[in-house]
Amino acid sequence: MARWYIIHAYSGFENKVRESIIAEAERIGLSQLVEAVEVPTETVTEVKRGKKVAVERKFMPGYVLAKLAMNDDIYHLVKNTPKVTGFLGHNGKPQPISEREAARYFGAREQAAAQPARQVAVDYEIGDSVKVNAGPFATFNGVVEELDFDKHRVKVSVSIFGRATPVELGFDEVELVKN
């Protein structure tokens, strides 16, 4: 009976690990024991260079979920896959997770697919002049240094007592200075 396992992989190589496990299982005739290998992702909308772009982002970086009929051959196949550090579990022994727990990971993906992607809209870029319109720095002008779309924050360099000081604000606390 196949059960879900969490495989720890090098961050950034999750898709490569997924493909390698599937290809190796097929090559040595164990594909019937590998039901599914998935990399949990979500779709978000980011603003890049003034354009909205839908981006697939991993919400469990460094992990791959696999539904496997575990035996020694499958264990060694996964363990010897390049860029795999091991299974999640006690002392490196594979610890299966429940169907309900696995459904939570995929449920989040399905829920994200059912909902529109989170919208993040800003009309300024790094290097643009902006005016702070809220908080203790209201009415200060500054220059955008950083944009963090994950946290909906912007780092602005404002002049306080003649010195450039970085201030972190929410996207809605600043507006583009129109020339």
pLDDT digits (tens, 9 = 90+) for 73-97: 999 999 999 999 989 888 768 888 8
What was the pLDDT predicted at 132? 87
Q: Name the more confident of 13 and 56.
A: 13
pTM (predicted TM-score): 0.57
In angstroms, how far is the first alpha carbon of the chain from the final one?
67
Provide the 10 A C-beta neighbour count for residue 122: 19
Q: Which of 53-57, 121-125, 150-154 has the highest mean pLDDT?
A: 150-154
pLDDT tier at 117 (50, 70, 90 boundaries)?
A: very low
pLDDT tier at 112 (50, 70, 90 boundaries)?
A: very low
- Residue 56: φ, ψ to 5°: -85, 125
The Cα 49–Cα 40 span in angstroms is 27
The runs of H, that is alpha helices, within the chain are 14-27, 72-79, 99-114
Mean pLDDT of the chain: 83
What burial letters (b/e) apply to 14-26, b meaning 16+ CB within 10 Å?
bebbbebbeebbe
What burial letters (b/e) apply to 97-118, b meaning 16+ CB within 10 Å?
beeeebeebeeebeebeeeeee
Both tokens of 131, joined, read 């005016």
